[in-house]
């Protein structure tokens, strides 16, 4: 699950992943996590609090974008759900320093580098009105 969060200025929240992370170390990415025997929205709510101290009510989450991703030919495809939340409580803080070094708000027109490629794609496609993207399929 991935969190698409915009502040009042229209900036998107991204986290700088710790360089020792197995996935995308040293890159900017959505606040994200995998489900643990829970619904997608329950996962999103839990991860937002665990990773950044943000309080989200489940009814405030709406499905914004779906990515169907195949990294390399023959690899296991993944389905990424991106949820948009318009109301939350708290300011993003580092709560898992082994996973994230910084939270920062970015203009969608000036996203940072390096950024996880599908994160950039999801932001661009969502802002263009698209709800679904396939990446890596031949």
**Structural domains in the chain plus CATH codes:** 2-135 (3.90.79.10)
Give the confidence band of 74 by pLDDT, cuts at 50, 70, 90. Answer: confident
Regarding pTM above 0.85, the answer is yes
Separation CA 113–CA 15 (nearest Å) = 12
Per the CB < 8 A criterion, the answer to whether 66 and 57 are in contact is no
Give the confidence band of 38 by pLDDT, cuts at 50, 70, 90. Answer: very high
């Amino acid at each position: 699950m991935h969190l698409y969060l915009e502040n009042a200025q229209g900036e998107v929240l991204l986290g700088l992943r710790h360089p020792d992370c197995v996935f995308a170390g040293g890159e900017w990415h959505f606040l994200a996590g995998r489900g643990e025997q829970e619904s997608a929205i329950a996962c999103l709510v839990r991860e937002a609090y665990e990773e950044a101290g943000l309080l989200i009510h489940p009814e405030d989450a709406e499905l914004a974008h779906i990515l169907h991703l195949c990294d390399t030919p023959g690899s296991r495809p993944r389905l990424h759900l991106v949820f948009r939340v318009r109301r939350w409580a708290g300011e993003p803080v580092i709560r898992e320093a082994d996973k994230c070094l910084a939270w920062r708000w970015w203009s969608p027109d000036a996203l940072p580098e390096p950024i996880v490629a599908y994160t950039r794609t999801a932001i661009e496609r969502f802002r263009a009105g698209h709800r679904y993207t396939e990446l890596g399929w031949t």
